[in-house]
Structure formats: structure tokens, C-alpha cells
Amino acid sequence: MPEIAVTAAEATDAERNAVADSIMLQDPGQISFDAAGPALTFDGDRIARSGQERIFNRRHLLLPVLHDVRDAIGWLSEGGMNEIATALQVPPAEVYGVASFYELFTFEAPSTPDALHVCDDTACRIQGANELKAELSADGYDVHGSPCLGLCEQAPAVFVQRTGEAHVSVRSATKETVVAAIGGAMTNPVAPVPQPAEELTLLRRVHDAAAVDYDGYVVTGGYEALAKAVAMSPAEVVTHVGDAGLTGRGGAAFPTGFKWSAVAGEPGPRHLVVNADESEPGTFKDRVMMEHDPYSLIEAMTIGGYAMGAEQGWIYIRGEYPEATRQLKSVIAEARSKGMLGDNVGGHGFRFDIELRLGAGAYICGEETALLNSIEGYRGEPRNKPPFPTTHGLFGQPTAINNVETMVNVNQIMLLGGEGYATVGTEKSTGTKLFCLSGHVANPGVYEVTYGATLREVIELAGGATGNLKSILMGGAAGSFIGTDMMDVPLTIEDSRENGFALGSGVVMLLNDTVDYDDFVARIAQFFRDESCGQCVPCRVGTVRQGESLLRIREKGSPIDTERKMLDDFAMVMKDSSICGLGHTASGAILSAIDLGLIGGQQ
Amino acid sequence: MTFVDIPVEIRSKVTISVDGEAVDVLEGDTILDACTKAGKTTPTVCYGPTVTPVNACRVCVVELEGSRTLVPSCSRPAEEGMVVKTDTDRVTDNRKMVLEFLATSSDVSQSDEIQGWLGDYKADLDRYDAATTERMTDEVKIEDDLYIRAYDRCVLCYKCVEACGEDAQWTFAIAMSGRGFNNRISTEFDVTLPDSACVYCGNCVAVCPTNALQFKTEFDLRKMGDWRPEDQSVTRTVCSYCGVGCNLDLHVQDNQIVKVDSPMDHSITSGNLCVKGRFGYQYVQNRPDK
Amino acid sequence: MWGSNAREAHPIFFHHVLKGIRNGAKMLSVDPRRSQTAKFADLWLGLNVGTDIALANGVGKYIVDNNLQNDEFIAHSTQGLDAYIESIQEWTLERTAEVTGLPEYAIAELAEAYATAESAQICWTLGITEHHTGAENVMALCNLSLLTGHVGRYGSGLVPVRGQNNVQGGGDMGALPNKLTGFQDVANDEIRAKFEAAWDCTIPAKPGLHLTLMFEAMEKGELTTVFCIGENPADSEADINHARALLEGLDMLVVQDIFLTRTAEMADVVLPASAGWAETEGTVTNSERRVQRSRKALDPPGDAKDDLEIINMIAEAMQPGWGNPSPEEMWDELRTVSPMHAGMSWERLEEHGGLQWPCPTLDHPGTLYLHGWLWDDDLGGREPAPFTVNEWRPHVDELNDDFPLLMTTGRVLDSYNTGVQSDGYNSPIRSGEALDMNPADAKRLGLVTGDRAEVSSRRATIEMEIRVQPDLPVGLCFTTYHFADTTDTNQLTIEAWDKKSGTAEFKATAINVKPLVAA
């Protein structure tokens, strides 16, 4: 890699300082990568070292540095990006290519220092988000529509992206609370978990405000799971996870034990990555875990690191989760100071540390290989598989990627033993499951039930639907609508599959007969259009074409049969030929809405 | 005398089934290689012999037994025992849809290959309502005398990015920017080419499948309605500048060089040239009589 | 990469270097400038101009002192080691560092990297040869390859990268004062007899003059008529004012060229030629000794004719009955007298996309690399390869208070030599001629990019634009000679030249820079 040439635009002093500070302050905890090594070194005017390896040492700092410069300055200027390109030795065209991929970065000086990202996605949309957006715009604020902010149970939600100050999310937002947040008012998240502690397993600590620091966590049984784990060999831990029958809770339901043993069997160095880029519209369970019981995640990851011999853990959290980010930052630092992360975890003789990375507004980065590219400092474009991350993951090394909820289950497996864990739930769906109830429901929030509970039981836990329930969106935008005839289907992996829908990330969004389905479904189509990374043709164009088709149905009265043929063709090619799951699932909700007669005239 | 000899790469044989026929290829070869060997014609857009396929276009997809989705043949390595189908309705329908997507979003009229496939796969472009079907509508960028960028013709195949980057040139003047349908190949901060890191090797132009990147000579002649490929000769010769010996294919119309490229399969250039070789020919035709 | 900015001067050759780098190869760059090539290097060593022999000898001594040499190869395939070792004793790391301006660790690192690599190449261009010690510079590098055995094997060797599309072919064809076609020695009676029989003529045994000697002969009045084909010495010679005066003083100057160059403007007779690469049929030989076909794509303008045809016409006038043989007929005749070309029929050149000489028979695949015989158990009666003793001598144009800065020259990416070809197209990246200088020097002189300055050497003073360029070390300036029409760089350069190769010292001119105050 040659020394990078940049355009003539120069950085301001403030931008220069922001870049320097950012690089200097990068998390000192990471073990595997030398962030401190300069991209180029000189000895006087006669000796220089550049060459092929240099760029890769620092490329992975690109996203954190972009964040820091944007947060200090309010936007990314040409000069600022040139400074980043020079400091990291990443070609400026690629700096721009990466930065422009993400929603949270802008390239023109904003009119006000605070950007307001108002969620106008599914759940917030039916709770007055558009009206709030209009109100704030009218008052001259820098308002951006946003995809789901993961605060569906406290809709409508606004993410306040401030400059030079901490970001904040405003829940159950009104114009007044948003204005207060711009002025510096912070949110104190309240656990939106209506169930009492005794009904909860994974979520049992969320009502206990003290559990977010080390002592409080230990008092409530924290780090007992790790103690059980290190009493076994790493291979035995993996076996327990396999025996438990744990499957991925992020949507794909892949057996976790299988993934772990594959990674453990590969030559190191290995990585454990937690996918906390919770962006599926209607999903907020991971946020609740991270805000109210962050140590559980740290402990579970530590067990994973021990089990797979992965010395470096990574949490990739979405950029719109400021409160959860602050909690994780705080507990990672505290765990380090307590010796529970670092060279000799808890005195157990193994190394494990965690690096926290922030997304910057891209749903696709929840796709595991896009997430890896994002961490590495590239555009969040999914990779082709095979090879899979278990062999060629982060930085090309063996990597296990698990969702937050999946990960936290590992603690439970250690406490119960694999076989003990497997007795909970059904034969094929073991353990408990978190569901995110939102929309037209009496008590929206996260609910934890043992696998096997029916949809009706889950809805009743939340106090039932409000109004006249017409359909339920299961699994989020990537899921599908189902009718009330499905109320008695047990919410297990196997039963849902048999009935033609997927649990996905656990979204249960209730929609009564007041919903404007044409608008609602159009928003889903718009969501996929906005969030497609654009890498492959089927998804880049298909997500646009299906939105146009819906528009023709809605505004031009185009016959449903004509459009249905087109929509089926779009769905086929996206499902069969797209690179990743986004394209594969982008048409499911739309087609199911037509099948149920929710849009396209009465059937 | 003892020394390390030329390392000989030993690749083992791999046998796969293509539409029921057993095909032998070598380890590391792709399904596309096997299909080609079996005599199948496979449409490709983002694949090129000299660039790493990003396999973004998905027009080369085939059915692979055991795979839930179709797989891109251009980048999937052949593995012993694979069973591949290319002649099914599923493959045909998917390729047709990809082609419809390409042709309804970008201007592919200057790609003879894509035009041919649109016919072969019976793409139905008429069913797309023009008023509601969004296309790339970028204005052509004319920033210098050497080549133009017409992104309304771009199919975002990434080949130019690869050629500018690690597959050949290592200049990294262009990259993908934006997201989704707003993706565009762009210089840093979308500055003009002369202001960018571009060194005008034109290796991006050489791999562009749709003339989105086009030599200014060709652009001007087409604009005047005077681009006549049927009247052009192509002559292979050797560049007149440095001593590397790059082969040039000179495209000549009316005794004027109108385009220069280099054979993709020549060991010296692999299709790549520098600014002098590709554009520095003008001195033989700066003639007073013209 | 030693004295080579291949990234700009040989971009497609550098693509191959990049492939190697991508596959994990280590690349070091030795160049006074931190060139575009050096920017890809794992280690760049910015040595003082003209200290290549010092560095090579220092590297050699380090290799020997640390026992990193290939003893088996040296014993079997080389001779003269003792004298060589004795000659490099003075080049301790300390002394080498002092002369080259490089830190000792960097010299040691270069030596270690080269000596311990499984295979290694030294690639060079004019940074090595355009010195008054040009040939010795090359020999000093050859010593390193002999010391380590990095020669005559796949992936190892000495790689002079040719600067012009057929400079190798020119030599192959016998356009050297002491060689006949196929590098056959003109002084050898047997060889001469072979050619005399084939050509039906008598060939003088005395070698001719190379370009620099021709100018000396002009000065002495011994050379009064010059037939100049495809060369523009009135722009390209060092100390150009002197050279032009000599050309003016000739009794007769005939220039055969595709342009009315500055040299052609001085000529008594101008013969308009056609562009070999696009308007005629023939062959050229590239840097890797690959003979390739060049072909006619265009009809030449006006009365311009193929060089061969012009020469045939002159020959016909001198000796009626000569005729006008075709390029292929002439090539086939050449194959009968030049053994290394004998296997290269035009048909085979087509088929293989060119062949690398030597290719003695029609079934020979061509030769990938030379000197492989050094590794044969039996050297076949050939003399082992000799080490040479090369003494470092500083560049001729000395720095002093009147001329405190050193100016070196080179090519940039989009331009070529005196610009007669490359000026023909509108390159968007062409920034015109300027004198590049280090920011510290510029600051001291109160200059910023875009300022104009008076640049003087001991020979002339010209006006130039200044460009501040941090990739140059303090005290070194850089310019090209692509734009002779606007900036006549070669008025400044020195005509000191290498007695062995005849190459002038374009790389080291002592200059003074005086800011021009804006009117």
C-alpha cells in the first residue's frame, strides 16, 4: 500500500485534533490488534516505511474515527476526511465510500448542531411519529426520518445526535421532551418489562437497578456461570452448549453449539463477536438486556472466549443506542479494573477482552458478514458465503458471531448444565424466548416465556390487544403478517415454520383495524429500499421495484393481479439470487399482506 | 548445486456434474469454469478474467444441489461431487429477472452482450411502467479529453473499482459510495477526476461492460452519429513508449486511432496500460490536414 | 528497486511488482527521492545522489562480515572474490553511512533482507546508469548478486528495466559501436567473416563511436557528417548549448524522423519517416528480451515512409540492385546470422505473443531468464562469473557556496523524454515543468509553489517555476526534461559521462536558485 494521496482540501485545527484524539483514545483493552502502530514511519528525510501491511493495521479504526470526528464537529468535511485518510492511510475515495454508506454521517455543515432522528417506522408510525416529525421540522430543527430505533414499546422515539455532547434517545417523545434533550436532559431508561422478576430467567435482573455494577451483579449470582465454566475444560463447555440445543435468537435459529465447536476447531487467533446491531423493526429485547443487565452479556462472552479459545471479543452495537452503549462502556471498564477482563480473567489463567464498536445507521450491518466488514473499516456489504465466518471471519480469522440474547443464554446453560437447560421448552426449541410486544397492545414491552407458549398466551401476558385486532406482524419487517387464526399456534421454531411464518427476532407487533395498511406496508417496502446495501442487483433493484409496484396499487389503482405477478417475480429473484438475508426476506411481509387481503383491495 | 527451484503449483482434479454431464476441472476453478468447459454459455456482467469478481450482478447464477438459494457460478469454487444445473426454469427465470432489473435501472443499450442476453432470456421490459420505474438518470461527466463517465449507464458491477484498486492499478481513486439504489461509483468526495487521485491509466474503462466509462473519442463519435464499429480495424502492436513492451490493440476508423486497449490474456499487460500507452497515441495523428 | 521509479516510468512492469507485493514479497527502494515507487516500499533508503557504489560496497561488506554470503555458489560459479573483499574493506557501516547519508541500521536491514531472501531481484533504471560511474554502479550491484547467488534462477536476478520501447532491440540488431547483430563482437574475425559472407561486403574491424564520443569527435573536427535517425540530441544531450553548437558546426546533418524536432530544424536534409509502432511492420524487443511484432495500423501522412524503405532507397542509390526487401524478408535474413534469433519466425512470434531470446531453433520455447548455467554442476567450459572492484567517486559537479543545491532529473508518469511524443495528447494530470524542492529549502529561499526562480548551473541560467515537494530530502531538487520548449533543463546539466557506457551524468547537477521578484 502506497502512501495515500489526498485532495487539496485541508482539515481545520478542530478536525485535526479530533482525529488525533480519536486515534489516541482508542480503547486500550484490545489485545489482538496494534492500534498504536503508526501507519507510516519516517526517520528524518532519508528513511520511510510504508509498504503493504501498513494500511491494515489501522483500517479497522475508520468507523470509530469517523464517529469521533462527526461527534466533535457535527459533520464530515472534505478536509476532515482527508485528515482521516492520511492518519489511517486509507484511500480518501474509500473513506468517503465508507462514510457515505452510513445514515448517521452527513457531508454538509448542518443548520443546527443537533440532528434529530425521528423514528417513523412501523411501531412509531402508528403512535404519531409523522405528526411529531412535522412539528419539529416546522420549528426549524434538523429532522431526519429514521428507521426503527428499537424503542417500540415507548413509541414514538427520537434519537438526538448531538455535537460535542453525549447523544440521547427520547422515549415516548413529545416536542417538549425532545427540546429538553437538546438542552442536555438525559433519559433514565425504565425497564419496560412488565413481568415480575420471579417469572423471569434471562431478564431476572432487569428490575434490579444495582445489578448494573460489579458488586450488585455478583450479589445477584453474577459470575457463577463463569465459575462453573472454568471448572470444566473449554471443550466441555462447548459440549454443554451443544447439548442444551441452544439456537440463535437473532433470526436464523442456527445451532450455537455447532458454531462454537467449528470455531474452536480452527487454528487461532479466533474472535467472538456479539451482534448487538439490533435493527429489525419492532425489536428491542437486546437493548433492554444491555441497558439493565449489561454484565450478563460480559460474563457470557467471557465464557464463550474461554470455551472457544478466542482472546478477543467484540460487541457491535448500533449507533442509535446511546444509553446501552454507555452501560456497556462502563461495565467493560469496570470488569477490566476488577480483573474480569484482560490478560488473566478472574485469575483463571486465560486472556479475554472486549472491544466495543458502534454502528452508524445501517440495518444491513446486522447481517453477520456485513457486520464484520463494518468492524474492519469497510462498507457494510455482506460477503459471499462460503467461506463462512467460522473459518474466515473477522480479519479473515475464525469467528463466532452471536446475537445478544443467544449469548446471554450461555450463562443459563452453565448454571443448569446442557442437559438441564434442554429440559426447558420443547424438544426442538429449548430454553426461554424473549418477545417484543408493541403496536396495539395494552402493555407493550419485552416478555420472556418458555418456548411452547402460544401466541394467545403471549399476547395475554401483555394485557391483550387494544381495539379490534386485525393482524400481527411476526418477526419484524423481515417477517410476515399473520391473521388472528394463528392465535393458538405455539411460538416455537418448529410450529411457526409449520404455519408458514418465522419468529425471527421475536417481534410480535399487534395491529388493529385502525391501521392504514397501504401506508404501513409501503413503509416496510421503503425500509428495505433504504436499507439495501445495493451490492447485488436483485436486492438493489428489487427493493425499489416492489415499492413502485405497491405505489401503483395504492395510487394508480393498478390491478392486483398484474402487480402480483410482478411482485412474485421480484420476490423470486430476491429470494433465490440475492447475496444475503436482506434480499431473501425483503418481500415476505408484502406478499403476506396481500395474501391476507390487508392491501390491494378486498378479497 | 543446491537451490530452491521454481515452485510448481500442483492442483488436483475436481469432477462436478453440470446438467448431468461429468466435467473435470482443477482445484480452484469455479463452477463457471466448469460450465464453460461443458459448453454452456453463461451470461456474466461483473465477472472479468482480470478482476476479482465481487459477484454483485448475480446474472451467472446456477442451481447447486443442497443449496437453498442459487449460487453465483463465477465465484463459487468447484468442489468434488457438486451437482450443478443450468438448464432449469428456475435458473432461466432468475437470470431473466436480473437482466430485467439491469435494463430497467440503467441504460444498457451500448452493451451488445447484455442486449443479446435480454433477447435470449426473453426479458419483458414492456411490463415496467415507465412513469413509475426509477432509473439511474445521472448527467454524463465530461471533465477532460481522455474519458467520460456516464453513470446512467453504470450497472455498479465494481469492476472499475477493482481495476483501480488491488487487482491492477493500486491507485484507489474510485470506490463505491452511498447505499442501495443511491450507490454510485465515486471519486473521493465526488470531486472531478482531474482533482482526484486518478492517474488516467484507463484500466477502469477497459473493464467497463456498459460504456458507462468511455473513451472521449468514442463518446464524441457516437454523439456525432459517426461511430462505425463495422468500419473499424483492430491491429495489435507494441506501445511506443517505455521498454516494457505492452501490447496495444489499436482500433482505427478512417485512418484515425479511435480507441486503444490491450489483450486481457497477454502476460505483460493482462489488459492493463498506463496513460501514455492508452492515450498517448495522438502524436501520430496530429496532422495538419485534419 | 534501486534507482528506479518504475511506478511512473514503467507502470505496467510495476503492476507485476505489485502482484509480488500482494503475494507477500518485500520491496525496498533505494532512491534519493521518495518517489511514487518508494512510497510502496517496506523500506525506503534515501541515499545521497551518486553514492550507489558506496552503498553497494557497504552492503557487500556487511554480508561478508555477517557470513550471509552463499559460499557454495561463490566457490562454484564465481571468481575474483578475494580482490573484491579487499576492495570493500573500507566500507564499514560507519563509513557507508557517512558517505550515503543513511543510518547504519537501514544499510544493515537492506543487506539482511537481500542476503537472506529465498529469491531476490535488484531492479534498476537510469538512477543507476546516468552517472559518470554508470557502468561501475551496475557492476557493484552485480557483485551483490554473485555474493548471494541471487542470479540465474527463477525469481532471482538482475533486472535493468529498459526505458524505451526498442532500446533493447536496437542493441540486439547491432546498433552498438562494437557489436554486430545478436551481440556478436565486431573485433572477432570469425564472426566478421560470417557476416561478410552473408552480406557480401567488407566490415571494418574497428569499433565505431557511441553518441558521447561522436560529440567529442565533432569537437575535434573528426566527425563532420551525421545521419541521425529517430533521435533528438539537440534537446536530449546534457549541457545542451554546447551540443547544439557542435551540431550547428557540422558540414552535413541528415535527420530522419517523424517530427520536425529541434535537431531536424538544424538539418541540411530531413527525411520524413513513419511511426514504427503504428505505421510500419516489424519487431521490437522489450526489457525482458521478448521480441514482439509491431504492426501497421495507420497509413503514414504525406510523403513519410517506413524507415526501412528510406534506408533501402539510400542503399539503392548507393548500390543499384539493392531492391526493397520486406520487413519479414529482412528479419528472416537476420535469423541466418544471429543465432539467438534463429528460432523466431514471424509465425512463431504471432503464435506465442512474442519470444524471449536466446531462441536458437524453431522448437525452442525462448529463454525465461539468463545465466542459469551458473547453477549447472558443470559450467561447460565457461569462465566463472567475475567479481569486480569498483571504486566510489563522487559526482563531478561539486557543491559549493555558489552552487549549493543538487539537481537530479527523471520522468513523470504521463510524459516521456523530450516530450515530442507525449506532448501530443492533453493529459489532465500534466502539471508542466517545475523545479521540485524540499519545503525547508524553499522556506530558506522564501519560495512557495508557483513562484518563479532563476536556476543556474556552472553552464547556464534558466528561469523555472518552483514546486514545493516534501518527498525530496533537504538539499536535493528534481526536474524532468519533458518540456524542452518551455524549460530547457538540459542547458543546466553537465556533460560529464561514463567512459564505459557513454552515458551522461544527468542525475547530478550543482545548481543555485535565486527567487525572481515579481515585477
Q: Which three cell numbers stand for residue A517?
A: 395498511
Tell whether B197 is within 8 A of chain C (Cβ). Answer: no
Q: Which long-range contacts (CB under 8 A, 24 or more apart) does B7-15 make?
A: B14/B78, B14/B79, B14/B80, B15/B80, B15/B81
Please report the sign of the dihedral spanned by the C-alpha atoms of residue A424, residue A429, residue A434, residue A435: negative
Residue A52: what pLDDT? Answer: 60
Q: How far apart are CA C492 and CA C407, in angstroms?
A: 9
Q: With cut-offs at 50, 70 and 90, classify the pLDDT of residue A56.
A: low
Q: How far apart are CA C8 and CA C33, in angstroms?
A: 13
Q: Residues A435, A458: contact at Cβ < 8 Å? A: yes
The percentage of residues in chain B with a pLDDT greater than 90, rounded to a whole number, is 89
* Domains of chain C (ranges, CATH numbers): 6-155+382-386 (3.40.228.10), 165-205+274-297+322-362 (3.40.50.740), 405-515 (2.40.40.20)
Q: Which three cell numbers stand for residue A284?
A: 428491542
Q: How far apart are CA B277 and CA B261, in angstroms?
A: 9
Nearest to C72 among B2, B243, B257 (CB): B2
* Domains of chain B (ranges, CATH numbers): 13-91 (3.10.20.740), 141-284 (2.20.25.90)
Phi–psi pair at A579, nearest 5 degrees: -75, -40
- Residue C208 makes CB contacts below 8 A (sequence gap 6+) with C177, C178
Whether residue A528 is predicted with pLDDT greater than 90 in this model: the reply is: yes
Whether residue C382 is predicted with pLDDT greater than 80 in this model: the reply is: yes
SS (H, E, C) A36-71: CCCCCEEECCCEEECCCCHHHHHHCCHHHHHHHHHH
Could you tell me the end-to-end alpha-carbon distance of chain A, in angstroms, rounded to an integer?
61
What mean pLDDT do residues B132-152 have? 95
**Cβ C43–A51 below 8 Å, yes or no?**
yes
Q: With cut-offs at 50, 70 and 90, classify the pLDDT of residue A35.
A: very low
Interface test with B, best of A576, A578, A579, A584 (most B CBs within 10 A): A576
Q: Which three cell numbers stand for residue C93?
A: 557501516
Q: Residues B179, A100: contact at Cβ < 8 Å? A: yes
What mean pLDDT do residues B178-202 have? 95
Q: Which three cell numbers stand for residue C239?
A: 549541457
Q: Residues C490, C240: contact at Cβ < 8 Å? A: yes
Nearest to B170 among A2, A6, A97 (CB): A2
Q: Residues A398, A219: contact at Cβ < 8 Å? A: no
Whether residue A501 is predicted with pLDDT greater than 60 in this model: the reply is: yes
Residue B116, classed as helix, strand or coil, is helix
Q: With cut-offs at 50, 70 and 90, classify the pLDDT of residue A592.
A: very high
pLDDT averaged over chain C?
Answer: 91
- Residue B57 makes CB contacts below 8 A (sequence gap 6+) with A536, A537, B44, B45, B46, B47, B98, B102, B155, B157
Whether residue B116 is predicted with pLDDT greater than 90 in this model: the reply is: yes
Q: How far apart are CA A533 and CA A269, in angstroms?
A: 30
Residue C431: what pLDDT? Answer: 78
Q: How far apart are CA C75 and CA A183, in angstroms?
A: 83
Q: How far apart are CA B134 and CA A53, in angstroms?
A: 42
What mean pLDDT do residues C56-70 have? 97
Whether residue B290 is predicted with pLDDT greater than 50 in this model: the reply is: no
What is the tens place of the pLDDT at every residue in C337-359?
999 999 999 999 999 999 999 99
Beta bridge partners of C407: C477, C509
H or E element: which one contains B37? helix B31-37
What is the tens place of the pLDDT at every residue in C103-113?
999 999 999 99
Give the chain A residue whose CA is nearest to the CA of C104.
Answer: A47
Q: How far is CA C275 from CA A341, C52, C258, C482, in A?
A: 72, 37, 6, 20
Give the chain B residue whose CA is nearest to the CA of A549.
Answer: B132
Q: Which three cell numbers stand for residue C345?
A: 519466425
pLDDT averaged over chain A?
Answer: 92
Interface test with A, best of B179, B183, B210 (most A CBs within 10 A): B179
Q: With cut-offs at 50, 70 and 90, classify the pLDDT of residue A53.
A: low
The percentage of residues in chain B with a pLDDT greater than 70, rounded to a whole number, is 96
Please report the sign of the dihedral spanned by the C-alpha atoms of residue A196, residue A277, residue A279, residue A473: negative
What is the tens place of the pLDDT at every residue in A256-286?
999 999 999 999 899 999 999 999 999 999 9
The vertex-B18 CA angle with B16 and B22, nearest 5°, equals: 50
What is the tens place of the pLDDT at every residue in C444-457?
999 999 999 999 99
Q: With cut-offs at 50, 70 and 90, classify the pLDDT of residue B82.
A: very high
Q: At what angle do helices B89-105 and A537-555 cross, to 10 degrees?
A: 70
Q: With cut-offs at 50, 70 and 90, classify the pLDDT of residue C496.
A: confident
The residue among B220, B284, B290 whose CA lies nearest residue B257 is B284
**Cβ B239–C15 below 8 Å, yes or no?**
no
How many other C-beta atoms can be found within 10 angstroms of the C-beta atom of residue C188?
Answer: 12
Residue B145: what pLDDT? Answer: 93
Q: How far apart are CA B282 and CA B220, in angstroms?
A: 16
Q: Residues C8, C37: contact at Cβ < 8 Å? A: yes
Q: With cut-offs at 50, 70 and 90, classify the pLDDT of residue A29.
A: very low
* Domains of chain A (ranges, CATH numbers): 13-99 (no CATH), 115-182 (3.40.30.10), 213-420 (3.40.50.11540), 432-512 (3.10.20.600), 517-595 (1.20.1440.230)
CA distance A309 to chain B (A): 30
What mean pLDDT do residues B241-252 have? 95
The residue among A166, A198, A195 whose CA lies nearest residue A183 is A166
Tell whether B280 is within 8 A of chain C (Cβ). Answer: yes
Tell whether B183 is within 8 A of chain A (Cβ). Answer: yes
Name the more confident of B264 and C483: B264
Residue B23: what pLDDT? Answer: 96
Residue A561: what pLDDT? Answer: 85
Residue that the C-alpha cell 524453431 belongs to: C362
Radius of gyration of chain C measured on its C-alpha atoms: 24
**Cβ B72–A570 below 8 Å, yes or no?**
no
What mean pLDDT do residues C4-27 have? 92
Could you tell me the end-to-end alpha-carbon distance of chain C, in angstroms, rounded to an integer?
45
Least confident of A317-331, A536-550, B64-78, C415-429: C415-429
Q: With cut-offs at 50, 70 and 90, classify the pLDDT of residue C518.
A: low
Chains with 3+ CB–CB pairs under 8 A to A are: B, C
**Cβ B238–C293 below 8 Å, yes or no?**
yes
